[in-house]
Amino acid sequence: MAGRVIVVTSGKGGVGKTTTTANLGAGLASLGRRVCLVDADIGLRNLDVVMGLENRIVYDLVEVVEGHARLRNALIKDKRLDGLFLLPAAQTREKDAVTPEQMKALCAQLAEEFDYVLVDSPAGIEHGFRNAIAGATEAIIVTTPEVAAVRDADRITGLLEAHELSNPRLIINRIRPQMVRRGDMLDIDDVIEILAIDLLGIVPDDESIIVATNKGEPVVLGGNTRAAQAYRNIVRRIEGEEVPFMQLEEEGWLSRLRSLVGFGRKQRGA
């Protein structure tokens, strides 16, 4: 059976697509799944750096698509997890070096071998975005609790629907409970109300992410920070488990959230 091809996208840059992709991939692989991460951000590749695999790159996605390298030779095996692989983007090329049709064929090929293919989308809604979503069968939208990011997430949701990727799921990244409580940050309810899509998870803002990212170590694999826990929960939800949302602050918050996102309803996919 073919694997699931999930694109991780956001519209706005800097909200954590690449970090999310790396952590979800590592999380799924640590559960024993075979996972391939695809960096679709041609010309501005980052996923290799976040994964700490930059020094292993020999061939890249563009060379595979152009037939100069075999897919199997371009895939980089992760240094920590057996089932985790990365297909790096080309850095010295541009987005239009690849067409959506080629990406579609590539994703289909990868889906035959892997349980999950996670495609890290570039920011924006142009050629690179269309490439990233071309082969996807599901989408995860990452946003932060900022008006601009939510606006872009809404735009992306519409575009995904137009490409027959309905029912994208949402990750709200970098929530700072204290700020939400003070009313200085959009809270989850606000975001959900605007976007009206299923919530896949909430990731608290956490300095450990910055440290881990700079070291090239997905935070999900190390220790018990709140962010790591949040990613592990998301991974389990992707796998079809029902996992309660993390309690970020006081009691009433969680129950409010539950009622809002309809926690407990049947999960899709698996």
Partner 1 sequence: MQGKEAVVFKGNRGGVSVQVDRDAPLGAVVDELRRKLSAAENFFQGASVRIELGERPPDPVEQRVLRELIQAHGLSVVDDTGATPPRAVNGHVPRPHADGAGGGARGQAGPAIGGGALAPERGGHDGAGEPCLLVRRTLRSGQRLEFDGSVVVLGDINPGAVVVASGNVVVFGSLRGVVHAGARGDTDARVIALRLQPTQLRIAHLISRSPDGQVPGPSGPEMALVQDERIQIEAYVP
Alpha carbon distance 107, 101 (integer Å): 10
Q: In whole angstroms, give the CA distance from residue 167 to residue 219.
A: 27
Give the up-direction half-sphere exposure of residue 98: CA atoms within 13 A in the CB hemisphere: 34
Stretch that binds partner 1, among 10-18, 37-45, 106-114, 117-125 (CB under 8 A): 37-45
> By three-state DSSP, how is residue 35 classified?
strand
Site for partner 1 in 90-119 (CB under 8 A): 91-92
- Cα 233 to chain center, whole Å? 14
Q: Name the segment binding partner 1 (CB under 8 A); options: 4-12, 40-48, 136-144, 186-194.
A: 40-48
* Identified binder of partner 1 from the candidate list 31, 34, 56, 146, rule CB under 8 A: 56
With CB under 8 A as the contact rule, the residue among 70, 72, 77, 79 that binds partner 1 is 79
Cα–Cα distance, 12 to 116 (Å, whole number): 24
Closer to partner 1 by Cβ: residue 49 or 71: 49
- Closest CB to partner 1 among residues 92, 167: 92
Q: Please give the C-alpha separations between residue 34 and each of 40, 100, 139, 269, in angstroms, as whole numbers.
A: 19, 24, 19, 17
Of 165 and 212, CB closest to partner 1: 212
Q: Which stretch binds partner 1 (CB under 8 A): 43-51, 135-143, 158-166, 198-206?
A: 43-51
The only residue of 14, 32, 58, 259 in contact with partner 1, by rule CB under 8 A: 58
- Residue 5 has phi, psi (to 5 degrees) of -105, 110
Q: What residues make contact with partner 1 under the rule CB under 8 A?
A: 43-45, 52, 54-58, 79, 91-92
